[in-house]
Amino acid sequence: MNWTALTVFLLFFLFVTILGFVSANWRKGNLELLDEWGLGGRRFGTIVTWFLLGGDLYTAYTFIAVPASMYGKGAIGFFAVPYTIIIYPFVFVVMPKLWSVAKKHGYVTASDFVRGRYGSSSLALAVAITGILATMPYIALQLVGMQAVLEAMGLTGSGLAGDLPLIIAFAVLAIYTYNSGLRAPAAIAIVKDLMIYITIIVAIIYIPYKLGGFGPIFDAAAAKHKAAVVLGAKAYAPYATLALGSALALFLYPHSLTGIFSSSSREVIKRNSALLPAYSFVLGIIALLGFMAIAAGVNVTNGNDAVPQLFLRMFPDWFSGFGFAAIGIGALVPAAIMSIAAANLFTRNIYKEYINKTCTEKQESNVAKWFSLLVKIGALAFIILINKQDAINLQLLGGIWILQTLPAVVIGLYTNWLNRWALLIGWFVAMVWGTYMAASTSFGNQYKLPFGLGAGTTIYSGLYALIVNIVVAVVLTVIFRVVGLKNGKDETAEQDYVFEG
């Protein structure tokens, strides 16, 4: 047991726990309203939104998995950096429109927008179910990140004793999220992101200094991975399509959209599109930790252990504890936001739409609170009872799934020309096809095109499924228009998409 690192870790964990509870009174609102509990009253400005989205998108699993991929596979793991660069121009152009129409009509979820835009509860349900399914394994993976640092500090064991620290951490998370809603992760994200920045600044200066500079680091990586340090020609298409597909999917996840909906204005979103690339720079350094672990002589069978072992080897115990606390808190923030986002979807688009259409605002908020607890319990049970690799596989599959909501949500912001039934059928075909591709490649995310001009080229499965999705939706829309099958009633108007609030 590394008592010094564990003590530092526990002190910071205690601090953010207290912060999580007292944040209920931060910019105080009526937490019996879903808008207040699940979106923080839509009052977060530029700085808070920057920390919230940063804490939401750059998770504990990112801190563990991206360097693990670099450690185990080489340069292909660096795809996460260009995809986070691609995404922000997309956010700048698209997301202010979604914020405006959501603010105008009181939408809390992307499914609310789809319901209003196409007049289709079925299509909205499909988007909601996809969002919940894609989010659940994502929450579970935050536990993988936390487990890695707990084990590095010596908190190991089998059975209940081994899982108890994780259970306690998520029980505390569940209680303060229930109590404070989105305000808790928003407040904690500020602490978490500052800790991450401090850790990375120290790492990028101190570790290369100890290892003799970046030359020996890249030489060691080249010796381990040989040609994999630089992408070969065969990797161009998989790398580029994975980056593009991941970028398009990132802000379709419910937790990302929760950060958008909670912003106070369109301008806040635009400013953050310009400011958030700072995290992409940090992510590039985080990725290089995988190569640093190779140069430092870290030898692990599970790549997820590479960063924790690197910290223990290179840093004093007290600073290792600080870095582990940053990663551990980096699990709590996104897990809280993800559970809130899933709860918003269930409450608005399943419970209120199909179970209790006359529910009051207080009932709506209470259902969301209890469902957020249920989601966390499910994620915890998943990690404890099922193989971790299954959670990783499902998260990869979740990325393919969530991308299939793009036609209804993103294209819907610009036109309602696509027929609601065509969109639903396109979504269904793409979900089946995407799942098949993943299963047929042992839950990999690459698939070789079987025919056409690109036959034999390997690309990201999610992007392939999206192309099929759009083609099916367009063709069926044309057919349905010819036979006279009309779309549902659109409750939005053109001026709603530039509404200032």
Give the 3-state secondary structure of 345-357.
Answer: HHHHHHHHHHHCC
Separation CA 151–CA 211 (nearest Å):
25
Q: Residue 228's pLDDT is what? A: 67
Question: According to the 3-state scheme, what is the secondary structure of 242-267?
Answer: HHHHHHHHHCCCHHHHHHHHCECCHH
pLDDT tens string, the chain, 501 residues long: the values are 889 999 999 999 999 989 988 888 887 788 899 999 999 989 999 999 999 998 888 887 788 888 988 898 888 888 888 888 889 999 999 999 999 999 999 999 999 999 999 999 999 999 999 999 999 888 888 888 888 888 889 877 666 666 788 888 888 888 889 989 999 999 999 999 999 999 999 999 999 999 999 999 999 998 888 766 777 778 888 888 888 999 999 999 999 999 999 999 999 999 999 998 888 888 889 999 999 999 999 999 888 889 999 999 999 999 999 999 999 888 888 989 999 999 999 999 999 999 999 999 999 999 999 999 998 888 888 777 776 667 777 788 889 999 999 999 999 999 999 999 999 999 999 999 999 998 888 777 777 777 655 566 788 899 999 999 999 999 999 999 999 888 889 999 999 999 987
Separation CA 348–CA 227 (nearest Å):
50
Q: Residue 452's pLDDT is what? A: 56
SS3 457: coil
Separation CA 219–CA 301 (nearest Å):
21
- Tokens describing residue 79: 């795809």
Separation CA 112–CA 246 (nearest Å):
24
CB 438 within 8 A of CB 432: no
446, containing H or E segment: strand 446-448
Domain boundaries, the chain: 3-15+44-498
Q: Residue 383's pLDDT is what? A: 75
Separation CA 232–CA 234 (nearest Å):
5
CB 144 within 8 A of CB 391: yes
Nearest to 436 by CA among 412, 468, 414, 406: 468
Contacts (Cβ under 8 Å, ≥6 apart) of 356: 363
Q: Residue 455's pLDDT is what? A: 62
Contacts (Cβ under 8 Å, ≥6 apart) of 140: 379, 380, 382, 383, 391, 394, 395
CATH number, domain 3-15+44-498, options 3.20.20.80, 3.30.420.40, 1.20.1730.10, 3.40.50.720: 1.20.1730.10
Report the residue count for the chain: 501
> Residue 387: is it exposed, middle or buried by C-beta count within 10 angstroms (0-12/13-18/19+)?
exposed
Question: According to the 3-state scheme, what is the secondary structure of 134-155?
Answer: HHHHHHHHHHHHHHHHHHHCCC
Q: How far is CA 408 from the centre of its chain?
A: 20
The pTM of the full predicted model, rounded to 2 decimals, is 0.92
Q: Residue 236's pLDDT is what? A: 85
CB 73 within 8 A of CB 228: yes
Separation CA 256–CA 240 (nearest Å):
22
